[in-house]
Every structure is written in structure tokens, then in C-alpha cells.
Amino acid sequence: MKHVIAALAAALLLAGCGGSGEDDDDLVVFAASSLSDVAPAIDPGATVVLGGSNDLAAQIRDGADAGVFLSASERPVEELREAGLIAESTPFASNRLVIVVPAGNPSGTTTLADLNRAGMKLVLGANGVPAGDYAREALAAAGLKEALAQVVSFEDDVRGVLGKVALGEADAGIVYATDARAAGGDVRSFPLSERYQPDIRYYAALVEPPSDAAREYIGALLGRTGAEALRDAGFLPPPS
């Protein structure tokens, strides 16, 4: 996997050196909400639009002006590829899920099993939102599908889940470790057992027709600039 990513990064950088002279200010990057600290750092001149990966993909299908799509899962990218709207794509990062609770943790929640207790108020990402889909995958792996009956709100992106928990409107939620880390003291987090962790992969994709600025952006994301930004934000390399 490492040599594939390196080769693609080199190809994208070379392709970006010869072209249209498109101004960086013209580049629009659609990025999953969990990449709010990463996407702008790759190119401060680019316009970054944050949101749920599925919502961003829907906007691209509707003709939104985006040159790069950074998705928190493969499915939205593949759907756009099938529609002929995505050129090249590659995995560039991974993450882990954690349980988050309000800072005071009044429910005493620490494990996935706790999410199925009577009276628990759980918040997750909606169907199609990668963080929510990953959370449902983890609950299924733990034999806790019935905990979905405790959900009081399905949010449009991972930041919505985090916000509900931080405000005490839910007893617990499941989010990415990077988002829990960024929330600081607003929430407490508890890791999931490795056996229940889903295979989380973030994908970078060029939207058709690909521009030189978009190729340069992905080249930087796959290179040193991206590696440093991702590491600083707590992301992991994509699984090999």
C-alpha cells in the first residue's frame, strides 16, 4: 500500500506541474467534518467546505463546484465513481472509534455494553454518515445491535454527535478519536476494544474534470505536508 500511495503522489505532483496555471483560490475542497483541522492545512489558499461525506457527495452529484473530495469512507467515493464524477482516488488515513460522554459522565458509561442499559440516551451519525455506519458496525461486532433502540438522535455528521454529547443532550455517542481529542475537556472518551474497531479508511478523490490545483492538493496531502497535518490531528496511516 505504501508504494502505491507514493507512486500516486508522485504522479499527481508531476501532473500538476505542467498545466493550466489555475489559481489556488479557485480550488474548492469538499472534506468530511472530521478533517476540519487537516483539510485547510494542506493548502491555506483553497476553499474548504466541511460536512458529512454522504451530504458532500450528494452536492457533487448535483453539480457543486468541487475539485477535491475527501471522504471518511469509500462508499460515497464509489457511488460518485459509478456516476462518472470521480477520476482518481486513494486511501490516505485511518482513525479509531471512541465512546464519548459529557465531561461529568453522569451515566457512568465506559464500555459498549453500557450503551444498552435501560434509559440510556445515545446519539449516532445517521445512516450513510460514515461515523454512524462505522458505529453500527462496531455495535454489531459486539453483539449489541439492540442498543440502537436507545438512540435519541441521528446526526448529519460526526460534529453533530459530539455537540449533542458535549451539551449534555445525550448520555453517550460514538465518534472518531480525533474529534474527541479536538473537543478537549468538553467530553470524556473511552476507547473501543480493538476486536470491535471497524476498518476505517479516508479517501482522497479528484472530481471530474480534474484540475492542476486539485492534483497538487492531493499530491501535498499524500506527501510530507499531509503526513504532518494528519499526525498532528491524531490520524493514523491507512491500513495496508
Domains of the chain: 2-94+202-233 (3.40.190.10), 97-196 (3.40.190.10)
Q: Is the pLDDT of residue 17 over 50?
A: no
The pLDDT of residue 240 is 76
Answer yes or no: are the C-beta atoms of 181 and 162 closer than 8 Å.
Answer: no
Percent of the chain with pLDDT over 90: 85
- pLDDT tens digits for 119-144? 999 999 999 999 999 999 999 999 99
The pLDDT of residue 93 is 98
Distance between CA atoms of residues 43 and 87, nearest Å: 21
76 sits in the region (left: phi over 0; alpha: psi -120 to 50; else beta) called: alpha
- pLDDT tens digits for 70-121? 999 999 999 999 999 998 899 999 999 999 999 999 999 999 999 999 999 9
pTM of the model: 0.86
The pLDDT of residue 88 is 84
